[in-house]
Structure 1
Amino acid sequence: MAKLVLASQSPRRRNLLAGLGVDFEVIASDVDESLDTQDPVELVIGLSQRKAMDVARRLKSEAVVIGADTVVYLDGIILGKPEDENDAFYKLKLIQGKKHQVYTGICVVQVPSYKIVSDYAVTDVWIRPMDDERIKKYIKTGEVLDKAGAYAIQGKGSLIVEKIRGCYYNVVGLPLGKLNEMLNEFGVDLMAI
């Protein structure tokens, strides 16, 4: 079987795959993560494809490369990772007390054929109402800066999430069920590895 490569710097994505007992290699992509679109599906699929193809082009041996990208979407606004604590406060202030969507795009590329399969998942997330002091307390946990929407559902952010509808793993950053379906198209089954 071809080696499995995760084209991501995200420790959460690494942990999710590792939690399945899957043998894989991590090779971070070096792509510009900006796209001129306000469509969340177009954005996450486009960025996941860029990431996967960037890594796939560097490989010399047979492999299956996984690229992914996650954003938070609220009322026509895409909320990526915050630039700093002030931006995190702004993002958390926007989503508190409301429902938003988390989109994750996934791209799987087979090397050396460069066959590509892309898809996405979306999950509705409701964040509890929070006053400014509660938001600032959450920011002080330190887990907000490298997360789309400025929160981590698997960390202390679980305390601010009221409920979700859809895939929990999508909110973490890698919808595992969807990924496995996509990998099946390449003869890879995460259940059997």
Structure 2
Amino acid sequence: MFLTYQLVLCSSSPRRQDILQKSGYHFLLDSPKISEILDKNINIDVALQKVAGQKARASVYATRLDRPYLIVGSDTIVFFNNTVFGKPKNEQEAYETLKLLSGNTHEVKTAFSILNVSLNETVFHTETTKVTFKTLSDSVITNYIKTKEPIDKAGAYGFQDKGRSLVASILGEENNIIGFPLKAFQKILKEKNWQC
């Protein structure tokens, strides 16, 4: 007999929700408030995993034993020249970020943790996708910023929307750029025999 877990997604990102919904997952939502400041004293992948793990552990479902829960915490960043680019605070910061990324290859890193509450076991994974931008003119950057799309996106662009036009090529999982590496997630669930 297989145990079926209740999936809990600790994220307010509509993009992560959409990726999981389109893949047929049914899940509860939780948005615990934690500090998303990355520890600069450790490897970037480990620092991201730490934030993802804190999100899962901070969930209201993390201490509930009324049913078997799998709690997913996740965090995405853009990484270029040893610099982390999160969501820009304003249009000027979005412009500066896009100008730096223009004509270059950067990495999109998404870390996730899966907390199995019943077993008190956590699995971590970081997925990296390489993204090469076209060389962008000032007018292309300015017009893109006018769409307001860059403001709530790591690295100041939304690959799933108009931001795709800024990209010359990718190497790795496309869903990772959007905000959640679905293939890696599904592989771990299969390896652990955690059905949800």
Which TM-score tier does this pair reach, normalised by the shorter chain?
over 0.9
Cα offset, 1:60, TM superposition: 4.5
Amino acid in structure 2 at the alignment position of 1:15: D
Quote the offset at 1:57 in angstroms: 2.8
Normalising by structure 2, report the TM-score: 0.91
Output one character per residue of 1:46-103: Cα deviation in whole Å (capped at 9) or x when no partner.
Answer: 1111111111435443200111111101011111111111111111111011000111
| Letter aligned with residue 159 of structure 1 | S
Aligned mate of 1:52, from 53, 56, 74: 56
Instruction: Please give the alpha-carbon distance, in whole angstroms, between the structure 1 residues aligned to 2:177 and 2:63.
Output: 29
Gaps of 5+ in 2: none
From 1, 5, 10, the equivalent of 1:2 is: 5
CA contact (8 A) 2:7 2:28 kept: yes
The corresponding residue for 2:173 is: 167
2:182 is the alignment partner of 1:176:
yes
Relative to structure 2, which stretch is displaced further, 104-113 or 39-48?
Answer: 39-48
Aligned residue identity for 1:47 = V
- CA RMSD of superposed structures (Å): 1.5
Residues 144-159 of structure 1 mapped to structure 2, 5 A cutoff? 144-159=150-165
Matched, 1:76 2:82: yes
Q: Which residue of 1 aligns with 2:19?
A: 16
- CA displacement, residues 12-50 of structure 1 (integer Å, 9 cap, x when unaligned): 000000001211111112111112317431222111111
Picking from 21, 25, 40, the partner of 2:44 is 40
- Cα contact 2:63–2:117 (8 A) shared by 1: no
Equivalent residues in 2 for 1:76-95, closer than 5 Å: 76-95=82-101
Q: % of aligned pairs identical? A: 32
In proportion to residue count, which structure has more helix? 2
The verdict on how the C-alpha distance between 1:133 and 1:58 changes in structure 2, with shifts beyond 3 A counting, is farther
Structure 2 counterpart of 1:31: 34
In structure 1, C-alpha distance between the alignment counterparts of 2:179 and 2:69, rounded to whole Å: 22
1:104 CA drift (Å): 0.6
Q: Secondary structure at the match of 1:145?
A: helix
Q: How many residues in Structure 1 have an aligned counterpart in Structure 2?
A: 190
- The amino acid across from 2:54 in the alignment is R
CA distance in 1, matches of 2:138, 2:154: 20
Q: 2:17 aligns to what SS in structure 1?
A: helix
Residues of 1 paired with 2:179 and 2:157: CA distance?
12
The answer for the alignment partner of 2:127 in structure 1 is 121
Provide the residue aligned with 2:111 in structure 1. 105
Cα distance in 2 for partners of 1:88, 1:59 equals: 40
1:185: Cα distance to partner?
Answer: 4.3
